[in-house]
Amino acid sequence: MDIEKNLSQTLAEMGTTLDGATNAQIFCALLRMVRDLETEMKPAEGNRKLYYFSAEFLVGRLLRANLVNLGLADDVERVLAAHGTTLAAVEDCEPEPSLGNGGLGRLAACFLDSIASLGLPGDGVGLNYHYGLFRQDLSEGVQREEPNPWIAPESWLIDTGTSFSVPFGFGPLAAHMYDIEVPGYENGVVNRLHLFDVEEPSPAPARGIAFDKGDVRHGLTSFLYPDDSDDAGRLLRVYQQYFMVSAGAQLILAELEERGFAPKELDRHVAVHINDTHPSMVIPELVRLLMERGIEFEDAAKIVERTCGYTNHTILAEALETWPMGYIEQVAPGIVPVIYQLDALARARTDDERVAVIDGNDVVHMANMDVHFSHAVNGVAALHAQILVESEMRPFAELYPEKFSNKTNGITFRRWLMGCNPELASLVTDAIGDDWKRDASRLEDLLSLSGDAGFVQRLLRVKEGNKERLAAWLRAEKNVEVDPHSIFDIQVKRMHQYKRQQMNALYAIWKYLQIKRGNVPNRPLTMVLGAKAAPAYTLAKDTIALLLALGRLIAEDPEVAPWLRLVFVENYNVTAAEHLIPAADVSEQISLASKEASGTSNMKFMANGALTLGTLDGANVEIAELVGRENIYLFGRSSEDVIGLYDRCDYRPWDVWQADGELAEILDFICSPELLARGDAGCITRVYRDFIAKDYFMALLDARDYVAVKERCLADYEDRAAWGEKALVNIAKSGFFSSDRTIREYNRDIWHLS
Ligand code: GPW
């Protein structure tokens, strides 16, 4: 198609020209062009259709991703260049849809991209949160949450004109369906993400993210619950969940009927996937709807069990959702009798109280309901699946051994290499051709260039260019200066104690004190962190305050500033990740072994040629197996050791503090007057106290090893050729982590779509 002509025509209707238009106008013209092209395209077809239910779809900006998949990104870039702008400048006018917290939501977005790209019939089902998660404001030295509205007058949302009536306890509420189109990669397929919404949404609160919880009819889709892995803010969340699953279940049955099938044939023609426990009420809701259509309870339960699959994303006990039956009675009285019947059915299969759907306090255990009434249950990395089967879900695995499997997570290389790192993508293509774009495992062909000094040099130069671009972006967007010749050491993910950003802070203090003593490094180090904390998670917010104060202290110290920077990127989101990850030298993946189910930024960094500094946790284990010990920096206690320490209650940070003078000095520095003066002293002191009194995620246990291995890693950076070789192996081996591979496995073992 003639892109220039198409854009010129649209811009003429808007009263301007390609040369005269603002980037915002060009963005609108491109949005319309993409949407027009996609209305011509068809969803994938097949005998079975998947509905992927998720409370989060962290899709990121959509313009570039759509252009990449339509095969138009390069042509658009050329046209824009001829008229004095770039796709990067134009896409900066696109607000990022704020529909997820972190890894779980981003995984769902990668999965939709892969499902469409593999030509499989499958749609997403979620909610249209108007003000998103929250925008993070750090201007006062602590995190403040602000609404993050993202729906512009012209956006990717398509009003389908369809709605379903959700039977809440207070009466029916219409769930209006909006769609976002999901094109496959150069295959003519467009699937859909269905986002349900109330008909008359509340206006955004002027400040903060609190809103009238009593006004469910209007406020239900205002905000995404801002807790990741913590279970808070409860009743409204039950309203949101039931709204999503009831509307989604009605959509499924309507489409089943349209396709000419009877309700009792549901399991033959539909696969439902439950992304963690947030959509679990889809099980009793589907049973209820089948019973309304004349099917007996026992048959309905059987059909639903054969239809549903469930993915678990955590072993953190506090993240497993449980709802008091009283809540469900208030929100969704229609499914209460169904849940009692499901509980009775599960009790007929086993008398083991540990796996009961409803416990002795009349509390519903969502994960338990999922395992009994799904035909497949999976973990998200090999180690995580093993821990599920051997400990966390052992009684279940003994009851239903055939249900359990692993599906190691993945990422879409369309966004996380072709989209965010076009320079690396074209270097790779020059070297090995472009088969890797359809089959990421072909990246292994790069191994033939190992030992090719010229190629490794080009690889290092691509990284340098990306570091310069990141420096420019940080200056323009976040008002911070970084030295592109320093080592970029990056930890970006949600703020959580188990991910151990607080241990990274200990490293910064250690390094600061070293430099003060005259032990300056070979080369300056830039530590970059970015993370949102759940608003009610005090210690996580305190850790942000500590890191901000540390960053200030370092920057204001003329002896240290030339050698060390600690940058905390405000409002970390998908867009920021797309700038940060291609520029990283070192990828920090330092969770306490056994606690990070998988991680997915570890995969993105690897594909972009960063070396991992990490524990043997989650998918890091598989990264280490793929690249070999010489191409990764591992430290810390093993998951077996950690699980043993928890079982025996055998960890006391106070003892570590008393026994290890050097570590005690670093810890005590947290409460030094110079640091307390540079931030919120109350927050910072709480972090200190927690380290010594609790340290639930054992940062002190691994801190020494962490510092030592990090130092070795940073020293290795100086042998640029050897470092480049390691980066090459990491890129070459990253293809395993394509979400296309993950989705093929889901389809082969669970969904059976075609
Ligand atoms: F608690 N994850 C997440 F398991 O991002 F539900 N949000 C969540 O609420 C949960 C998990 C939940 C993450 C895991 O922490 C991460 O290890 C994993 O890579 C990701 O989900 C995708 O599986």
What ipTM describes this predicted complex? 0.97
At 491, give phi and psi (nearest 5°).
-125, 105
Tokens of 39: 């209305």
Overall domain count for the chain: 2
- Residue 532 catalytic? no
Using one digit for the tens of pLDDT, what is the confidence trace for 731-743? 999 999 999 999 9
Residue 380 lies in a domain: no
Q: Are residues 472 and 337 in the same domain?
A: no
Query: What angle (nearest 5°) sits at the alpha carbon of residue 302, between those of residues 298 and 303?
Result: 120
C-beta neighbour count of 154 within 10 angstroms: 11
Closest by CA position to 97, among listed 152, 43, 29:
152
- Is residue 392 one of the residues assigned to a domain? no
What is the residue range of 551's domain? Answer: 413-732
Question: Is 685 designated active site?
Answer: no
201 in ligand 1 pocket by Cβ < 6 Å?
no
List Cβ neighbours of 693 (8 Å cut-off, separation of 6 or more).
653, 654
Is residue 493 part of the annotated active site? The answer reads yes
Check: CB of residue 174 under 8 Å from CB of residue 220. Answer: no
Q: What is the pLDDT of residues 161-200, one digit of tens each?
A: 999 999 999 999 999 999 999 999 999 999 999 999 999 9
Bridge partners (DSSP) listed for residue 182? 191
Instruction: State the DSSP code for 18.
Output: T
Phi, psi of 193 (to 5 degrees): -110, 115
Separation between Cα atoms, residue 482 and residue 580, nearest integer Å: 12
* Whether residue 425 sits in one domain with residue 350: no
Site to probe by mutation for ligand 1, drawn from 229, 621, 746 as the one with most ligand atoms within 8 Å of Cβ, is 229
Identify the residue whose C-alpha is closest to ligand 1 atom 2.
Answer: 104
Are residues 195 and 254 located together in one domain of the fold? yes
State the distance from the centre of ligand 1 to the C-alpha of 106, rounded, in angstroms: 10
For residue 232, what pLDDT is reported? 46
Quickly state the pLDDT bin for 233 (edges 50, 70, 90): low
> Does residue 408 carry a catalytic annotation?
no
Domain membership flag for residue 691: yes
CB-CB contact of 706 with 636 (8 Å) = yes
Indicate whether residue 313 lines ligand 1 (CB < 6 A): yes
Residue 394 belongs to a domain: no
Q: How far apart are CA 492 and CA 502, in angstroms?
A: 13
12 within some domain? no
11-40: pLDDT as tens digits: 999 999 999 999 999 999 999 999 999 999
Same domain, 564 and 657: yes
Cβ of 228 less than 6 Å from ligand 1: yes
Asked whether residue 356 falls in the same domain as residue 469, the answer is no
Average pLDDT over residues 437-465: 98
268 lies in the same domain as 170: yes
Contact 521, 532 (CB under 8 A): no
Supply the pLDDT for residue 214: 77
Average pLDDT, the chain: 97
For 308-351, where are the alpha helices, taking DSSP H only?
A: 325-331, 336-349
| Three-state SS at 615 | coil
**Domain closes at, from 374, 391, 421:** 374
- Cα(596) to ligand 1 centroid in Å equals 8
One domain for residues 370 and 505 = no
Burial class (CB in 10 A: 0-12, 13-18, 19+), 724: buried
| Centre of ligand 1 from the C-alpha of residue 210, in Å | 24
Contacts of residue 272, defined as CB under 8 A and 6 or more positions apart, other chains included, come to 50, 51, 53, 252, 282, 286, 307, 308, 309
CA distance 68 to 76: 10
Around 589, how many Cα atoms within 13 Å sit in the side-chain half-sphere?
35
Domain's final residue, options 318, 344, 374: 374
Q: Is the CB of 613 under 6 A from ligand 1?
A: no
pLDDT of residue 287: 99
Mean pLDDT of all residues in 288-317: 97
Domain identity same for 341 and 458: no
Distance between CA atoms of residues 591 and 468, nearest Å = 29
Burial class (CB in 10 A: 0-12, 13-18, 19+), 19: exposed
- Does the beta carbon of 104 lie inside 6 Å of ligand 1? yes
Distance 30 CA to ligand 1 centre (A): 34
Residue 743 lies in a domain: no
> With the CA atoms of 355, 359, 364 and 366 taken in that order, what torsion angle do they form, in degrees rounded to the nearest 10?
-20
| 22: in domain | no
Q: Does some domain include residue 36?
A: no
Q: Do 218 and 282 have their domain in common?
A: yes
Predicted local distance difference test score (pLDDT) of residue 513: 98
Query: Is the CB of 409 within 6 Å of ligand 1?
Result: yes
Write the pLDDT tens digit of every residue in 599-619: 999 999 999 999 999 999 999
Pairwise CA distance, residues 739 & 309, whole Å: 18
pLDDT tens-place string over residues 539-582:
999 999 999 999 999 999 999 999 999 999 999 999 999 999 99
List, as one string, the DSSP characters of 645-698.
HHHTT---HHHHHHH-HHHHHHHHHTT-HHHHTTS-HHHHHHHHHHHHHT-TT-
469: helix, strand or coil = helix
CATH code: domain of residue 604: 3.40.50.2000
635, 508: one domain: yes
Is 516 a residue of the active site?
Answer: no
Give the model's pLDDT for residue 643: 96
Query: What does the pLDDT look like over 131-164, one tens digit per residue?
Result: 999 999 999 999 999 999 999 999 999 999 999 9
Q: Using an 8 Å Cβ cutoff, are 216 and 239 in contact?
A: yes
pLDDT at position 369, please? 98
- Do residues 422 and 294 both lie within one domain? no
Pairwise CA distance, residues 348 & 346, whole Å: 5
> One of 48, 64, 604, 637 is an active-site residue; which one?
604
Query: E-assigned strands of 517-557?
Result: 525-530
Residue 228 has pLDDT above 90, yes or no: no
Which of 374, 405, 436 marks a domain boundary? 374
Residues 251 and 185 in one domain: yes
Average pLDDT of 303-324?
A: 94
Compute the distance between CA of residue 469 and CA of residue 209 in angstroms, rounded to an integer. Answer: 33
Among candidate residues 407, 499, 565, 637, the one labeled active-site is: 499
- Determine whether 494 is an active site residue: yes
Radius of gyration of the chain (CA): 26
For the chain, what percentages of helix, strand and coil (3-state, to nearest 5) are there?
50, 15, 35
Q: What 3-state class would DSSP assign to 62?
A: coil
Enter the tokens of residue 301.
């339960």
Where do the DSSP E strands lie in 510-555?
Answer: 525-530
721: confidence class by pLDDT, cuts 50, 70, 90: very high
Amino acid at position 508, single letter:
A
